Amino acid sequence: MKLNSWGIPAALSFSLICGCYPRANWKKDYDYKSLRNIAVARLDSPEDNASSGGAVRDMISSYLIESGVKVVDSKVFDKMMQNAAPKSDALFAQIGNLAGADAIIDGSVLRWQEEKEERVYYTGPDGKVSYETAFYNAKVDITLRLIDVKTGEVVWANSDSYESFDIRHTMESAVYTTMRPLKKLLLD
């Protein structure tokens, strides 16, 4: 089979786009528009950066509020979770309902790598270093789930990995790209 001149670049572009786009999964027959109050649970965090789950949680809450969704006060939800048995979807549902939520967002920060300097050295034809470039890369991987408080069922899930120059921008971008499909379900 012969590809014309645009076939290979188009195929490569398509595979790169599909390979990098977050893959949301959701229950198709669920009424997302009925959700008006959402609680955001404390996200699990890597041991080496325990505060990352709180930072991502705050960004998710900010994103929901910006989108017009009411967010249950995390202190109320946390207080109720404090004396509860080990974490489970059914427990989240019960406590979320008591806290006044219609659904709960739960998840994990799988990777939180602060920006670090990496230097790349370029050599000239004579083998000597001709110049160098510094890169500052931060990486964040998150996974999120939406749990219905009436049934305890996970009705939406998504994850994303994002890499950028600083940790704040990286975290914001990971949250926005992960939450965008849910926002569409809630508001469109």
Which residue in 86, 110, 109, 92 sits closest to 146, CA to CA? 92
Residue 65: predicted pLDDT: 95
The SS3 call for residue 36 is coil
- pTM of the predicted model as reported, rounded to 2 decimal places: 0.77
Domain ranges of the chain: 24-110+140-187
Residue 3: predicted pLDDT: 43
Residue 154: predicted pLDDT: 95
For the chain, give the number of residues: 188
Which residue in 137, 147, 142, 146 sits closest to 49, CA to CA? 142
Residue 6: predicted pLDDT: 47
Measured from the Cβ of residue 56, the count of other Cβ atoms closer than 10 Å reads 26
Q: What is the pLDDT along the chain (188 residues), one digit of tens a residue?
A: 444 444 444 443 443 444 455 578 999 999 999 998 999 988 999 988 889 999 999 999 999 999 999 999 888 878 888 777 677 778 878 888 888 999 999 999 999 999 887 778 888 899 888 878 777 789 999 999 999 999 889 999 999 999 988 899 999 999 999 999 999 999 98
Q: Are strands 37-40 and 70-71 parallel, antiparallel or unpaired?
A: parallel
Residue 9: predicted pLDDT: 45
- DSSP per-residue codes, 59-116: HHHHHHHHTT-EE--HHHHHHHHHTSSS--HHHHHHHHHHTT-SEEEEEEEEEEEEEE
Q: Which fold has domain 24-110+140-187?
A: Rossmann fold (3.40.50)
Give the Cα-Cα-Cα angle 56, 59, 65 (nearest 5 degrees).
Answer: 145
Residue 77: predicted pLDDT: 79
The SS3 call for residue 8 is helix
